[in-house]
């Protein structure tokens, strides 16, 4: 799963309590559910429904555009700590195609948002979770 050290794995049963605690601590929690869809366009759509992309996306799958827009959208949020929770077992079990590319992009976005030089001195901590559904 991309760089597995970046992603924390949670069961569906423990996710609610963990996210409630993070939210109470001031983090923005964003739960992404593609409803099992694994293609790039569906993944982009799922993220775009929850995060205002900056710059906006056309909805077509393009890795660089998705990375840039997601990074801009997350940086524009008020909170300096953002939790992204990916729901679905396929995020763990399918390490190819758009799923693998998305995991790689999320790692890169986390690195970029942590850098003061890329964020105008206002870094954002991006915490990444995968929530198993079974």
Residue range 90-116, pLDDT digits in tens: 888 887 898 999 999 999 999 999 999
* pLDDT over 70 percentage in the chain: 93
- Residue 1's pLDDT band (boundaries 50, 70, 90)? very low
Q: What is the pLDDT of residues 52-65, one digit of tens each?
A: 999 998 766 788 89
Q: Output the pTM of the full model.
A: 0.89
Q: How far apart are CA 121 and CA 116, in angstroms?
A: 4
The CA-CA-CA angle for residues 122, 127, 129, to 5°, reads 160
Residue 36's pLDDT is: 86
Sheet holding 81-87, edge to edge: 7-11, 125-132, 81-87, 28-33
As a three-state string, the secondary structure of the chain is CCCCCCEEEEEHHHHHHHHHHHHHCCCEEEEEECCCCCCHHHHHHHHHHHCCCCCCCCCCCCHHHHHHHHHHHHHCCCCCEEEEEEECCHHHHCCCHHHHHHHHHHHHHHHHHHCCCCCCCCCCEEEEEEEECC
Q: Where do the structural domains in the chain lie, given as residue ranges?
A: 7-121
Residue 60's pLDDT is: 67
Tell me the mean pLDDT in the region 33-40.
Answer: 89
Residue 4's pLDDT is: 52
């Amino acid at each position: 799963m991309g760089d597995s050290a970046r992603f924390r794995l949670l069961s569906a049963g423990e996710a609610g309590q963990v996210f409630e605690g993070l939210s109470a601590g001031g983090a923005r929690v964003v739960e992404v559910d593609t409803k099992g869809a694994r293609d790039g366009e569906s993944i982009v759509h799922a993220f775009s429904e929850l995060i205002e992309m900056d710059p906006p996306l056309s909805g077509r799958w393009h890795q660089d555009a998705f990375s840039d827009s997601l990074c801009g959208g997350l940086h524009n949020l008020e909170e300096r700590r953002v939790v992204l929770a990916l729901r679905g077992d396929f995020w763990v079990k399918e390490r190819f195609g758009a799923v693998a590319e998305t995991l790689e992009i999320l790692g890169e976005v986390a690195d970029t948002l942590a850098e003061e030089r890329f964020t105008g001195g206002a870094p954002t901590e991006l915490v990444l979770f995968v929530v198993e559904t079974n």
